[in-house]
Structure formats: structure tokens, C-alpha cells
Amino acid sequence: MSATELAALAGLLADRTRAEFCLALLDGRAWTVGELAARAGVAPATASEHLDRLVAGGLLVQRRQGRHRYVCLAGPEAAELVETLAGQAGTGTARPRGLRAARASAALAGARTCYDHLAGRLGVAVTGAMVRRGLLDLTGGCALTGVGLEWLTGPVGVAPELLRATRRPMARVCLDWTERRPHLAGVAGARLCSRAFERGWVRRIGSGRAVRVTPEGAAALVDLLGLDATEWAEVR
């Protein structure tokens, strides 16, 4: 990548509206232009112009369904870039204004999705427990151990074929922008997150990224990872 290309990429996020769009899309879902416009408080025409730039720059991809235009992050690499920049920028350190904003901020800090894996206190606690139990090795990088693979395809219930034939790393860590500690990403993080939703261990709070641990999920955390309740009780 040349200096010109790097500057162009940085310029894509050097705008509050475009940055707001990318943060919203970290929930891993496709949004319509109207939904993103409402989220950022701009006119649909303005939103469309900004989205055109993000699509052309490779951060987003789009598809049309009927009269609607849907956009989402281009993939895990784009999501990693946005999350990493959010961490470097210190996102979440400013004190939220108003009770509603404070509650939303607390919910995000407690438990949320980061594209397709778990983040916040919940994600960090799960990752730490996996390391302590020898399921994940963070020595000199990030690797799912043999025991970890058996755990993921056994008690957690991930189909082995879902872990094969992918260019994406099996396991990697993201720096969590609220906890400033790592949470699990990669294929393993994504499959663990999807199973948590499938088995009803976590549920979304409204339409955003924040999630809540269900009673079934609380029991699973204890059973599968032996988590100390103080590590995750705040996100129930």
C-alpha cells in the first residue's frame, strides 16, 4: 500500500457520519440507507453519498432487494479495522449525556457483538476463562488448542465442518475498546457467538449491538467455563 492509498483509506473514516455508519455496522447485519440515515441524523440523500464513498473504498459492500439498498461491512477484516481504530481513539471514554445514553453505553460495555463475535465484559471474561482452562493459548499470538477444538465441537456444539475450508484465522484477538483487554475473534470467536445465539444463551437488547445473558446462558457460562459470577454478573 502506498502513502496515497493509506491516506485515502484514512479519509473514509475522517468524517463523523461515515464513522457512525461503520460503528453501527459492527453488529454484523445489513442495514438500509434509511436506517443508517436515521441512526446518524442525516438526510437519506446525504447518507447515500457517504455510503457510495465507503463502498467504493472497499469498507462496505451493498446489495439491492426490491427498492431497498442494503449495506454491510465488507468482511471481518473491515470490522477489525474499525474496532481497532475505535480502541485507539478511546471510544467510550467520554461521559454519556442523559439517562438513556448512559444506559445504552452501559449495555454496550457489558456485552455486545463485535461484527460476528462477543465483546465487552462478557467477551473479555469468556476469553480469559478459555485461556485459564487451556482452551486458548495467547502465548506469542493466539491459537485454539487441541483441547479447545474438542470443547468447541463437543460441549459447545459447533459442527466440525464449519471450522474448515476458510482463509480466515481460526483464532485471533481484538483489543476490546471498552475493557482495553482482548476478546476472541476469528472463526472460533464467530462460531462460539453464533452458537450462543442459537442456544439462547444471549439475546439482543433492542436493535443494536448490545446483548444480554439469559438465565440459560448464565448456567452455560458456569458449566462450560467455570466463570466466576463476578466476571459476568453485571451483564445479566
| C-alpha angle 84-89-94 in degrees, rounded to nearest 5 | 125
| pLDDT value of position 3 | 85
Instruction: Please list the pLDDT of the chain residue by residue as tens digits (236 residues).
Output: 678 888 888 899 999 999 999 988 988 889 999 999 999 999 999 999 999 999 999 999 999 988 889 999 998 888 888 887 877 765 445 555 666 656 767 777 788 888 889 999 999 999 999 999 999 999 988 999 999 999 999 999 999 998 886 778 899 888 887 888 889 999 999 999 999 999 999 999 877 788 999 999 999 999 999 987 677 655 44
d(CA 177, CA 83): 7
Q: So where are the chain's domains?
A: 3-74, 80-235
| pLDDT value of position 19 | 93
Domain 3-74 in CATH 3.40.640.10: no
| pLDDT value of position 92 | 47
d(CA 41, CA 20): 10
- Pick from 172, 166, 170: which is nearest to 152 by CA? 170
In this prediction the pTM is 0.78
φ, ψ for residue 90, nearest 5 deg = 75, 30
| pLDDT value of position 83 | 80
3-state helix vs strand vs coil in the chain, percent to 5: 55, 15, 30
**How far apart, in Å, are the Cα atoms of 14 and each of 10, 17, 19, 58?**
6, 9, 7, 15
Report yes or no: 120 and 83 within 8 Å, Cβ to Cβ: no
